[in-house]
Structure 1
Amino acid sequence: MLEFTDAQHRLSSESALLQLKGKTDPVWTTSGDVAVSGVKISTSNYWFRQQLPVFLVVADNRLGQAFFLPVKTFIRRNFEAFSAQGPFSYRVSRACPLSAHQPDNFLRDLNAEKQLSEIDRVTAQFPSFQRDFFEFFLNNRGRDFHMKVDELNRRKRLAELATVFARCCAAFDVPFPFDQSDALCLSQWSQPDGYPMMEHDMTQMLDPMDAANSALVSAIKERISGAERRYCEITAPSLA
């Protein structure tokens, strides 16, 4: 188990699991990866069920270097073979060195592994969210800017949609201009005695959501029909 520290070298309670495989003279393919076989399918199932991120690390003892693979992402992208529950091999790339001098790739994949559960939740809820968002958008955008939004239910519904939309964008790394001040305004607007809200404010919140929506839809469709197509078809066929 690897536990991370913060900038002051204090333990952060954020952890990941690493499985280390040492190889004296691994056979690297011309495409730059090495096969790791002989892992029991029960072990792969255990890794896949873990809440923590899991990484397979191959140490090339001849080179004195280590290389990592995010396990759950690899399984999802090779889910048909994994779902057969027979022999299942991993392929670790030399393009992914595990090094204190090059931490960015590992940290990127660590964050991606941490997001997998959230991505599944967001993807499952997205079709119904889209219907709700567009119904609200068509009925509430572009009204008379000088009018006050008196209906509390409209203000509260906008806050709910914006919060979900921000979470969706964060899960799929889609830019969405939603910061702490926006969250504070929405919180105040959704209170019975909160800040007064104008129709202009309503439209100004809806337009960025609409602008980011195409990128969000594309990102979700790419995951469902691209790299994780078989994972989605097998685990969520109606959604796929």
Structure 2
Amino acid sequence: MKLPKRPKQHILETASYKLFSSKIPDEWIIRDITERDYGIDCYLEMVNDDNELSGDLALIQLKSKDEIEWTNKDTFTHYGVDISTTNYWYQFPIPVFIFIGDISNQKLYFNSVHYTIKRNFDQFVKQTTFPYKFKKSDLFEGKDGVFAFKFHYYYEKYRQQFENELRFFISNLQHYKDFQQLHNNLDYHLGLEDTDQIFFESMHKNFSFLCTYFNIDNPIPKLRDIKKKSREKFGNESHYELYEHDLTEWMEEYEKLTINLIVGMKSFLNGELPYWLRINPTIYNYVNNIGDDGTLPYE
């Protein structure tokens, strides 16, 4: 008697879902969807360190192989995604990830779609095929795997803010340098006027975000901690929130950070060279012409 047979691909799909479910942290939530024909298999919702639901959602596409055949450079290239699906993923305002399961070895690997597109933008704009390259180091396993995944997640989640902060940094770079030099040796007991404080707070916020995004060490305390220390030193009677002493204490660090951010920014944009040359060549060319010592173009 002839009976229906379950296709091997369906078996692999189920196996990859089980593997994916077993590898993610227990606190995270897999949100299933009813339609899976458009390149999205499920939503993954992360929780913060206090196990609070903070709205951190990623879209997940699950792939699987009996066993991944790695090259001698420990890479594997997946060609099975239609360009229309990649275009669809690229339109999403939230991060999209491909997870591929090595069923025989019970290993799970991930690839950030937006990250891959931006770093292979010339291939993407051809609109023919767009492969996804996995590395053995893209292993989603334990704390290291979770950390790497979250790094790529936040890279994309805050991407639009990053591009805004990048423009802000570039357009204010000369003002930053002038401000840092001016406030490095003024009378410690002078209160900071409103316009200077507003500029300082904007610079502080801009530097803090970019240091985090570029993974650059930032020794400068949070703004509230600087203000708290200032109140303890100068008392609460004055209407000034900050004094020249508070700025002078950190201006040399800001000057060093300015150079570090320039170097980090140039390296980052070069990593996405095809993307920037097509999307905003003006920014790329300007940044590329900034000296590593902070010398501005045409200065």
Q: TM-score under structure 1 normalisation?
A: 0.85
Contact 2:80-2:131 at 8 Å conserved across structures: yes
* Matching of residues 112-191 of structure 1 within 5 Å: 112-146=155-189, 148-149=190-191, 151-176=193-218, 177-179=220-222, 180-182=224-226
The residue aligned with 2:108 is 66
Which of residues 244, 253, 269 in structure 2 aligns to 1:224? 269
CA distance in 1, matches of 2:203, 2:81: 44
Distance 1:67 1:152, change over 3 A: closer
Q: Deviations over 1:69-88 (max 9, x none)?
A: 11111111111111212211
CA distance in 1, matches of 2:239, 2:207: 22
SS at 2:283's partner residue? coil
CA distance in 1, matches of 2:79, 2:254: 46
Distance 1:25 1:228, change over 3 A: same
CA distance in 2, matches of 1:107, 1:163: 22
Contact 1:122-1:168 at 8 Å conserved across structures: yes
CA distance in 2, matches of 1:13, 1:186: 36
- Structure 2 stretches lacking a partner, 5+ long: 1-42, 285-299
Q: Quick check: 1:37 aligned with 2:79?
A: yes
SS at 1:117's partner residue? helix
Distance 1:228 1:165, change over 3 A: same
Displacement of 1:11 in angstroms is: 3.9
Larger-gyration structure (1/2) = 2
Q: TM-score under structure 2 normalisation?
A: 0.69
Displacement of 1:16 in angstroms is: 1.0
CA distance in 2, matches of 1:9, 1:164: 29
Which of residues 99, 114, 125 in structure 2 aligns to 1:83? 125
Structure of greater relative contact order (alpha carbons < 8 Å, 6+ residues apart):
1
Q: CA RMSD in A?
A: 2.6
| AA partner of residue 208 (structure 1) | E
The residue aligned with 1:53 is 95
Aligned residues: 234
CA distance in 1, matches of 2:132, 2:138: 14
Distance 1:150 1:168, change over 3 A: closer
Contact 2:185-2:248 at 8 Å conserved across structures: yes
Displacement of 1:100 in angstroms is: 4.2
The residue aligned with 2:240 is 195
The residue aligned with 1:211 is 256
Displacement of 1:18 in angstroms is: 1.2
Distance 1:113 1:197, change over 3 A: closer
Contact 2:192-2:240 at 8 Å conserved across structures: no
Identity among equivalent pairs (%): 24
CA distance in 2, matches of 1:75, 1:82: 6
Q: Quick check: 1:111 aligned with 2:151?
A: no
Q: Quick check: 1:236 aligned with 2:258?
A: no
Displacement of 1:209 in angstroms is: 1.4
- Structure 1 stretches lacking a partner, 5+ long: none
| AA partner of residue 136 (structure 1) | F
CA distance in 2, matches of 1:203, 1:197: 11
CA distance in 2, matches of 1:173, 1:66: 26
